[in-house]
Chain A
Amino acid sequence: MIPSVDDSIPEDPIDFQLDNEISDLQDQISALKAQRSIQVSTILSSQSTRSTLNRLRVSQKQSKLSPTTTDTTPLLSTSTAQLVHTRENLYRLCAGITTFRIQDPDPNAVDDGKVLGLRIDVASTGKFVRPYYVMLNKPFAGSELLRVHRHTIPPCIPLSLLVDRYLPNGKGSAAMGSKEPGAKKQDLRRFARALRKEIVGYHNRVSVIKGLRKEFKLDEKVSRKGKGRERVIADISAADAEAKQVRIEWVDGRIGRCVVGDGGEVRKCVVIGEEGRDFETERRVARGAMEGIGERLREGIY
Chain B
Amino acid sequence: MMSLLSVPTTSALPSSQLIPASHPAVTRILYRLTRPSLLSLVLDWLDERNQETSGPYLLSSDDEDDEQDFYPPASSLAALREIYTDLQARKGSKRDVVDRILEGDWRYGISLYQLAMADMQYLYDHPASQKWTALKIVRLSGEYIAPNDKEHPSIPRFHPATFLRNLQREALPDVKAHYNLDRHPTLPLLILRVFILESPYNTGLALHSAKERTTFDASKTFYVAFPDFSPYIYVSLAATSSSAPGSVSSSADNKSLRKLMLEGIPKAFSKPRDRFKLEGTSLSAKNLDVLVERRGGGRMNAAGGGWGVYAEDKKKESDNPLNVQLPTPESSILEDDQEDKDSAEKKSGMKRKRVEDPSVVKRRKLVARGRFGKSAKADDGKGIERLDVRLEDHFPTVSALADDDVEAEEGTEPARKDKKHKGRRSTITLELDRMEDVDELADDGWRPDIRITFHGQHVFAGIRELIEAGIVDGEKMPGWMTGEEGVSVGVVKDGRIRGNKGSGL
Residues of A within 8 A of B (CB): 37-38, 40-42, 45, 78, 81-82, 85-86, 89, 92-93, 104-110, 121, 128, 130-133, 135, 147-161, 163, 239-242, 244-245, 262
Give a binary string over B228-253; 1 marks a CB under 8 Å from any A CB, 0 the rest.
Answer: 11110000000000000000000000
**In the complex, residue of chain B having the shortest beta-carbon distance to the beta carbon of A135:** B307
Complex Cα distance, B502 from A108, in Å, reads 14
Contacts of B370 in A (CB 8 A): 105
- Among the 9-residue stretches B126-134, B319-327, B348-356, B425-433, the one with 4 or more Cβ atoms under 8 Å from chain A is B319-327
Taking A107-B478, A156-B297 as contacts, is the C-beta distance between A89 and B313 under 8 angstroms?
no
Q: Which 8 A-B pairs have the closest CB atoms?
A: A108-B495, A106-B479, A241-B229, A92-B321, A152-B311, A152-B299, A158-B154, A133-B310
**In the complex, residue of chain B having the shortest beta-carbon distance to the beta carbon of A98:** B321
Residue of B231, B476, B501 near A107 (CB, 8 A) is B476
26 contacts between A and B (CB under 8 A): A38-B324, A42-B324, A85-B324, A86-B324, A105-B370, A106-B482, A107-B478, A108-B478, A108-B494, A108-B496, A128-B317, A130-B313, A133-B311, A135-B307, A148-B505, A150-B302, A150-B484, A151-B303, A151-B503, A152-B303, A154-B299, A155-B231, A241-B153, A241-B155, A241-B297, A242-B153
Complex Cα distance, B302 from A42, in Å, reads 37
Residues of B within 8 A of A (CB): 149-150, 153-155, 157, 228-231, 297-303, 306-307, 310-311, 313-314, 317, 319-327, 370-371, 475-479, 482, 484, 494-496, 501-503, 505
Indicate if the CB atoms of A41 and B326 lie closer than 8 Å: yes
Complex Cα distance, B326 from A242, in Å, reads 35
Complex Cα distance, B300 from A160, in Å, reads 16
Indicate if the CB atoms of B230 and A155 lie closer than 8 Å: yes
Contacts of B298 in A (CB 8 A): 154
B504–chain A nearest beta-carbon distance, Å: 8
Contacts of B153 in A (CB 8 A): 158, 240-242, 244
Residue of B229, B319, B479 near A131 (CB, 8 A) is B319
Complex Cα distance, B475 from A157, in Å, reads 34
Residue of B155, B317, B371 near A240 (CB, 8 A) is B155
**In the complex, residue of chain B having the shortest beta-carbon distance to the beta carbon of A106:** B479
Contacts of A149 in B (CB 8 A): 502-503
Contacts of B321 in A (CB 8 A): 89, 92-93, 121, 128
Complex Cα distance, B502 from A135, in Å, reads 11
Indicate if the CB atoms of B154 and A156 lie closer than 8 Å: yes
Residue of B229, B479, B484 near A108 (CB, 8 A) is B479
Complex Cα distance, B479 from A70, in Å, reads 46
Complex Cα distance, B150 from A72, in Å, reads 58
Contacts of B301 in A (CB 8 A): 154-155
Known interface pairs A241-B229, A242-B155, A262-B150; 16 further A-B residue pairs with C-beta atoms within 8 A, sorted by A's residue number:
A85-B324, A106-B484, A109-B479, A128-B322, A130-B314, A133-B310, A133-B311, A150-B303, A150-B310, A152-B302, A152-B303, A152-B310, A152-B311, A156-B155, A160-B154, A241-B228
A24–chain B nearest beta-carbon distance, Å: 20
**In the complex, residue of chain A having the shortest beta-carbon distance to the beta carbon of B496:** A108
Complex Cα distance, B324 from A13, in Å, reads 43
Indicate if the CB atoms of B324 and A163 lie closer than 8 Å: no
Indicate if the CB atoms of B155 and A38 lie closer than 8 Å: no
Complex Cα distance, B141 from A160, in Å, reads 14
Contacts of A41 in B (CB 8 A): 324-326
Contacts of A107 in B (CB 8 A): 475-479, 495
**In the complex, residue of chain A having the shortest beta-carbon distance to the beta carbon of B310:** A133
Contacts of B310 in A (CB 8 A): 133, 135, 150, 152
Chain B CB within 10 Å — which of A128, A239, A241 has the most?
A241
Complex Cα distance, B311 from A148, in Å, reads 16
Complex Cα distance, B322 from A241, in Å, reads 29
Contacts of A160 in B (CB 8 A): 154, 505
**In the complex, residue of chain B having the shortest beta-carbon distance to the beta carbon of A86:** B324
Indicate if the CB atoms of A148 and B229 lie closer than 8 Å: no
Contacts of B307 in A (CB 8 A): 135, 150
